[in-house]
Amino acid sequence: MHSGVYWALFGGLPEEKLPMLFKAWGILFEEYVNWFLSGRASAAALFHPPPNWGDEF
């Protein structure tokens, strides 16, 4: 899932749906980074993902 998927979705959605795409893509990216970094934790470097505050912020 590189930029091609994002731009395909971006180009295929009506303008009023784009904010939902931006939010969903940001959440997906954050989950990917958390997954990626948590798999690389070691005794020398621990990874603690940020807390989930929900929709409050």
- Can you read off the two tokens belonging to residue 32? 């990917």
Number of domains in the chain: 1
Nearest of 39, 25, 17, 38 to residue 49 by alpha carbon: 38
Q: Supply the pTM of this predicted model.
A: 0.62
* Dihedral angle, C-alpha 34, 40, 44, 50, nearest 10 °: 10
Query: Tens of pLDDT along 9-36?
Result: 889 999 999 999 999 999 998 888 888 8
**Which residue range(s) make up the domain with 49?**
1-57
The single-letter code of the amino acid at 52 is: N
> What does the pLDDT average to over 35-46?
75
pLDDT tier at 41 (50, 70, 90 boundaries)?
low
User: What is the C-alpha separation between 6 and 22, in angstroms, rounded?
Assistant: 9
Query: Tens of pLDDT along 1-11?
Result: 566 888 888 89
